[in-house]
Structure 1
């Protein structure tokens, strides 16, 4: 079995995911895991596909000849060794550099970001914009409390509110 990691970018349109899944299915591929979004009129996604070794080249060729910008990488999926998964929700006044400052703290604590989803929304009643995000990070149990404390220390400086879940 071959594992393919597909990154997909293109103009958003109705049926795009259905067309992609049809190509994968027609070549005996199994759509395992994916994250996809429509942003600014574009479609972007990442898909993990398992396919029989003897069908991987045909699937790769079919995907690359599609009208989407698709990058195919072969490889075995690996996970970062960890014993904890920490969910971090944050909301604060939008400004340049907010993601960099928060991710610097996460990285310096030895954690790895598994998922990050963010948005900028209009602030109710206050005017301006709010930056909202949810991150899931992987880290050792011993590092979880330290990371939480470091982010709480940063909260006042950034004017960000953090909520943590395990």
Structure 2
């Protein structure tokens, strides 16, 4: 089996996921991990697809022929999954550069950012704009305490909750 990583963006329209999943099914592929989002009138996503060697090119060609969908498809011969050792839930007052600061600390502490899902929302009682994120990372056990200390030092208001 080949693993395909499909990254796409399209003006949002009803039926887009149905179209993509139908193409995967027609080519006997298996829709595996995905993250799909509506963003400012567009629909964007990343999908991991398992497909036989014989169906791979036909599947790629069919996906790339969908009107008004821009996509990048990367192929790998084997599943390259990595298990995250930590999940960080981060909350702070929103400010410019916060994602850069967080990702830089993770990198400097020897961590690998596997997944980041973030949101911008108002605090319930004060209305202050908050940055909230959930990050899955892989980091050596010996670096965990230093990583948390370094993250908390990026801002006085940054709260970090950790789970495994």
For normalisation by structure 2, the TM-score amounts to 0.91
Of residues 143-152 and 53-62 in structure 1, the stretch that sits farther from structure 2 once superposed is 143-152
Of residues 22-31 and 141-150 in structure 1, the stretch that sits farther from structure 2 once superposed is 141-150
Is 1:133 matched up with 2:133? yes
Find the aligned partners of 2:97 and 2:133 in 1 and give their Cα distance. Answer: 14
What is the aligned partner in structure 1 of residue 160 from structure 2? 162
Map 1:14-29; keep pairs closer than 5 Å.
14-29=14-29
Is 1:74 matched up with 2:75? yes
Find the aligned partners of 2:40 and 2:57 in 1 and give their Cα distance. Answer: 33
Aligned-CA RMSD value: 1.6
What is the aligned partner in structure 2 of residue 63 from structure 1? 63
Find the aligned partners of 1:12 and 1:104 in 2 and give their Cα distance. Answer: 32
Moved over 2 A (4+): 76-80, 123-128, 152-155
Find the aligned partners of 1:64 and 1:154 in 2 and give their Cα distance. Answer: 42
Q: List alignment gaps of at least 5 residues for structure 2.
A: none
TM-fit CA distance, 1:134: 0.9
Map 1:1-150; keep pairs closer than 5 Å.
1-67=1-67, 68-75=69-76, 76-79=78-81, 85-150=85-150
TM-fit CA distance, 1:79: 4.2
For normalisation by structure 1, the TM-score amounts to 0.90
User: Is the contact made by 1:155 and 1:162 (CA closer than 8 Å) also made in structure 2?
Assistant: no
Deviation per CA, 1:78-136: give whole Å up to 9, x if none.
245x7x61111111111101111111111101111111111111123323311111111
Equivalent residues, number: 162
